[in-house]
Amino acid sequence: GKMVELDLRMNELTSIDSLAPNALRSIDLAGNHLVRPPVFKAEMPKLVRLDLSFNDLSSAVSSAGSGAFATLSSLRALALQNCMLSTLKGKDGAFLFADLPNLLKLDLSFNLIAEPSELFPVTALQRLAHLDVGCNEMCAHPDYDACKAELRRKLSTLKSLNEEAVTNNFMGYGENAVEKGDMIAAMTAAMSQDNSSCSCIEGNPCLNADNCNDWHKRFAVAHKARLENYWSQGRAFCDLR
């Protein structure tokens, strides 16, 4: 039979060039040394899942044009966790994922995106059901809650945001959100009152400055720790993500 899944996690691949159209439906390249996404010779009509997590793609994104994913219009799930991304725009200023109209799931967690406004083009993905942008630097931005509310308003198909279910009675993330039944705000409040040690060294940015060893660099410290955990635990860590 034809191969439909390709699992090349935890290798030392630096590039994958000139993949020809085939029967592959899933490609997992997490935890390699890729410096750019795979290069496909033509449209990959059957590919629905691509995992590029834990590869430093920062340089590739900054130098990419709007057609970086132009041959993957059938893609349903794209994972880019821990890829050192600071922007979702290519060198021409265009949205990187504009050519993925069928995308249902997008994981951008644990990157270095600092401005919530970077997320606004995501609303063009009108079939998106699951979006994870947690543990980026923008999570500490004063406009972050308003940005999440805007995403929820403009993406009627959204079922989960940062692994939290989005419901029809969504009431926002404001100061009174707990009174309105917002469990996300309740969890955040509880965590911010935690007196435990610095969680950055475990790969999760601290929510309380009093507990943090380096509050101003918490996202960078957590990113590095998460990457080290990935390599030390190997596939076991992959499967826990």
Compute the average pLDDT of residues 197-208: 81
Give percent above pLDDT 90 in the chain.
47
Max mean pLDDT range (8-22, 69-83, 174-188):
69-83
pLDDT digits (tens, 9 = 90+) for 55-89: 999 888 767 666 678 899 999 999 999 999 999 98
The answer, yes or no, to whether residue 95 has pLDDT greater than 70, is yes
The pTM (predicted TM-score) of the whole model is 0.78
pLDDT for res 65: 61
Residue 238 binned pLDDT confidence (cut-offs 50, 70, 90) = very low
Write the secondary structure of the chain as one string of H (helix), E (strand) and C (coil): CCCCEEECCCCCCCCCCCECCCCCCEEECCCCCCCCCCCECCCCCCCCEEECCCCCCHHHHHHCCCCCCCCCCCCCEEECCCCCCCCCECCCCCECCCCCCCCCEEECCCCCCCCHHHHHHHHHCCCCCEEECCCCHHHHCCCHHHHHHHHHHHCCCCCEECCEECCCCCCCCCCCCCCCCCHHHHHHHHHHCCCCCCCHHHCCCCCCHHHCCCHHHHHHHHHHHHHHHHHHHCHHHHHHC
Higher pLDDT, 164 or 203: 164
